[in-house]
Amino acid sequence: MLRRSALFALLATALQASPVHKTRNVVFVMTDGLRWQEVFRGADASLIADHDALRRAYWRESPQERRELLMPFLWRTLVKSGQIFGNRDAGSDSSVTNGFNLSYPGYSEALTGVADPRVKSNDPIPNPNQTVLEWLNQKAAYRGRVAAFAGWEVFNAILNHQQASFPMSAGYDPFAPKEMTPRLELLNQLKAEMTRTFESVPLDSIPFYTALEYLKLKKPRVLFLSLGETDEWAHEGDYARYLDAAHRVDAYLRVLWAALQQIPEYRGTTTVIFATDHGRGDGGEDWKSHGARLAESKYNWMCFLGPDTRPLGERSHVPPVTQNQIAATLAALLAEQYPQGKPIADVLP
CB of 295 to Zn ion, least distance (A): 16
Please give the C-alpha separations between residue 296 and each of 70, 119, 218, 245, 319, in angstroms, as whole numbers.
Answer: 22, 20, 40, 22, 18
CB of 322 to Zn ion, least distance (A): 20
**Residue with CB nearest Zn ion?**
231
Q: Least distance in Å: CB of 286 to Zn ion?
A: 13
- C-alpha angle 181/167/178, rounded to 5°? 40
Q: Closest CB to Zn ion among 60 and 198?
A: 198
What is d(CA 44, CA 192) in angstroms, rounded to the nearest whole number? 36
Closer to Zn ion by CB, 234 or 302: give it. Answer: 234
Nearer to Zn ion, 59 or 233 (CB): 233
Which CB atom, from 96 or from 187, has the smaller least distance to Zn ion? 96
Q: What is the smallest separation between the CB atom of 103 and Zn ion, expressed in angstroms?
A: 6
Min dist CB 162 to Zn ion, Å, is 25
Our CB check for Zn ion shows the closer of 208 and 233 to be 233
Closest distance of CB 290 from Zn ion, Å: 6
* Smallest separation (angstroms) from Zn ion to the CB of 137: 28
Q: Can you give the binding site for Zn ion, defined by CB under 5 A?
A: 33, 231
Strand segments (E) across 73-116: 83-85, 94-95
Which ranges of 160-283 does DSSP label H, i.e. alpha helix? 182-193, 205-218, 229-236, 239-262
- State the amino acid at position 179 in one-letter form: E
- What is the sign of the dihedral through the CA atoms of 204, 209, 215 and 220? negative
Radius of gyration of the chain (CA): 20
Cβ contacts of 260-267, under 8 Å, gap ≥ 24 = 260/27, 263/215, 263/216, 263/219, 265/25, 265/219, 266/25, 266/219
Can you list the positions of beta strands (E) in 24-183? Answer: 25-31, 83-85, 94-95, 146-150, 168-170
> What share of residues in the chain are helix, strand, coil (percent, to 5)?
45, 10, 45
Least Cβ distance, residue 292 to Zn ion (angstroms): 13
Does residue 302 contact residue 274 with C-beta atoms inside 8 Å?
yes
Minimal distance, residue 58 CB to Zn ion, in Å: 22
Identity of the residue, 275 or 347, whose beta carbon is nearer to Zn ion in the bound complex: 275
CB 108 within 8 A of CB 96: no
Nearer to Zn ion, 101 or 160 (CB): 101
Which one, 41 or 278, has the nearer CB to Zn ion? Answer: 278
Q: Is 100 helix (H, G, I), strand (E, B) or coil?
A: coil
For residues 93 and 231, which CB has a smaller minimum distance to Zn ion in the complex?
Answer: 231
Starting from the edge strand earliest in sequence, which strands make up the sheet with 270-275, in order? 168-170, 146-150, 222-227, 25-31, 270-275, 302-305, 83-85, 313-314
